[in-house]
Chains A and B, each alone.
Chain A
Amino acid sequence: MKNLYFALTEEFNAQGTIALLASGQAVVYYRLAMMSKDGDWVLRETPEACGRVLEVLARHGAGYRPGAPLDVRWLCGGWSSHFEFLDAEGRRIRCDFVTRPPRVDLAEMEICFGRPPREGSLPVVDLESLIRMKRTQRAKDYPVIGELARLLPPERELEFTTDPDRLLELAPLYAEGSKRPAVQTATKGGAREEVVVALAREADRLQQADRVWLAAYQDASFGYLQEFVRQRLGDLPLFQAHESLCRLAERLLPPNPFPEVDDAAPERG
């Protein structure tokens, strides 16, 4: 009896570290909460890593869900790939992959990929990167960020906590050099209510930024997704679907929805 997403992480990485456990299952791994029915991974951006993941998923009988093909030509533009299968007990398993997680410095991901594997541990996104990935448009992610921040050293927790009382507790000791508006409010003697407002403004700004960023992908993928569904590509065996998806994406899915910038990932927040 095992967390199947942890087991998949071991399978993906059996020949070398290529897939970092992320998002909800990383929260489970860090022992904060039972949070997610899906599995999410940050994948090394190489054709070999994509091939390895497709092999493992094919063995499990996975099919594509509507999304980009698992191919570096689109993953490097920030697109995500999505898969689904039923396990031996008939439970739904969803697997999602990116190589360019939003708001995360790729150099930090390279550090995670380069860490030597330790007995009993899994390759997992580091805490600060995980927090940045969770700065989404969804309000429910922000309390999780506060709990993840508690696992950091205090001077770093101060940069990420979403808990006004924790911020007020840490600011007098660790605020030096912080540019975070909520921290500056606390250090200038602001009342608790002012810190609450500053944190709320920060969360709102991050949520709005995520909405704008995702809207570009929605617009860019509309025709492609329509064809995906019309051709029932999710019903095909995985490798056959993958070939068809790549051909479809070459016609209808722009590799980078932000052609005016080289790096499609949104700014680190």
Chain B
Amino acid sequence: MQLLSEDDLNLREMSREELDRAWDLWFDLAQATNEFDPPYSHGVFVPLEGATRRPARPARDT
């Protein structure tokens, strides 16, 4: 099974700046599904269901 589409393969030809801009756009769009994401994607708590989820804290000025 091929993981990558023709568009994905173009990642290797991108400059670092192009890759950053592409990821930034992808990340913006991906925020739409936050509510449906599992609570953990890595680590030892991955099998846990959503009972322990807490809302994210707002950013502090840095």
Q: Which residues of A contact B (CB under 8 A)?
A: 1-4, 6, 22-24, 28, 31-34, 36-38, 40, 59-63, 65-67, 78-82, 84-92, 94, 96, 98, 120, 136-138, 143-144, 146-147, 163, 211, 214-215, 217-218, 221, 225, 228-229, 232, 234-235
Choose among B3, B42, B58 the residue that contacts A80 (Cβ–Cβ < 8 A): B42
Whether A32 contacts B43 in the complex (CB less than 8 A), given A2-B24, A60-B59, A61-B57, comes out as no
Q: Smallest distance from the beta carbon of A209 to chain B beta carbons, Å?
A: 14
Q: Smallest distance from the beta carbon of A50 to chain B beta carbons, Å?
A: 15
Whether A32 contacts B11 in the complex (CB less than 8 A), given A23-B42, A144-B3, comes out as yes
Q: Smallest distance from the beta carbon of B33 to chain A beta carbons, Å?
A: 8
Per-position contact with A for B1-40: 1 when CB-CB < 8 Å, else 0? 1011000100110101001111110111011001001011
In contact, A60 and B60 (Cβ under 8 angstroms): yes
Q: List 27 A-B contacts (CB under 8 A).
A: A4-B27, A22-B42, A28-B23, A32-B3, A34-B11, A34-B22, A34-B26, A37-B31, A37-B37, A40-B41, A60-B60, A61-B57, A61-B59, A66-B39, A67-B43, A80-B43, A84-B56, A84-B57, A90-B58, A96-B42, A98-B43, A136-B46, A144-B3, A229-B54, A232-B54, A235-B54, A235-B57
Known: A31-B19, A34-B26, A82-B40. 8 other contacts (CB 8 A): A22-B42, A31-B12, A40-B43, A80-B45, A81-B43, A86-B58, A228-B52, A232-B54
In contact, B56 and A40 (Cβ under 8 angstroms): no
Q: Smallest distance from the beta carbon of B22 to chain A beta carbons, Å?
A: 7
Complex alpha-carbon distance, A218 and B58, angstroms: 29
Complex alpha-carbon distance, A80 and B40, angstroms: 11
Complex alpha-carbon distance, A233 and B46, angstroms: 20
In contact, A215 and B47 (Cβ under 8 angstroms): yes
Choose among B16, B27, B46 the residue that contacts A120 (Cβ–Cβ < 8 A): B16
In contact, A91 and B28 (Cβ under 8 angstroms): yes
What are the residues of chain B within 8 A of A235 when measuring CB–CB?
54, 57
Q: Smallest distance from the beta carbon of B16 to chain A beta carbons, Å?
A: 7
What are the residues of chain A within 8 A of B37 when measuring CB–CB?
37
Q: Smallest distance from the beta carbon of B46 to chain A beta carbons, Å?
A: 6
Choose among B8, B12, B20 the residue that contacts A3 (Cβ–Cβ < 8 A): B20
In contact, A79 and B8 (Cβ under 8 angstroms): no
Complex alpha-carbon distance, A2 and B18, angstroms: 10
Choose among A86, A144, A147, A221 the residue that contacts B56 (Cβ–Cβ < 8 A): A86
What are the residues of chain B within 8 A of A79 when measuring CB–CB?
44
What are the residues of chain A within 8 A of B44 when measuring CB–CB?
78-80, 214, 217-218, 221
In contact, A225 and B52 (Cβ under 8 angstroms): yes
In contact, A60 and B62 (Cβ under 8 angstroms): yes
Complex alpha-carbon distance, A79 and B59, angstroms: 27
What are the residues of chain B within 8 A of A37 when measuring CB–CB?
27, 30-31, 34, 37, 41
Complex alpha-carbon distance, A87 and B28, angstroms: 11
What are the residues of chain A within 8 A of B22 when measuring CB–CB?
34
Chain B residue, CB-CB nearest to A233: B54
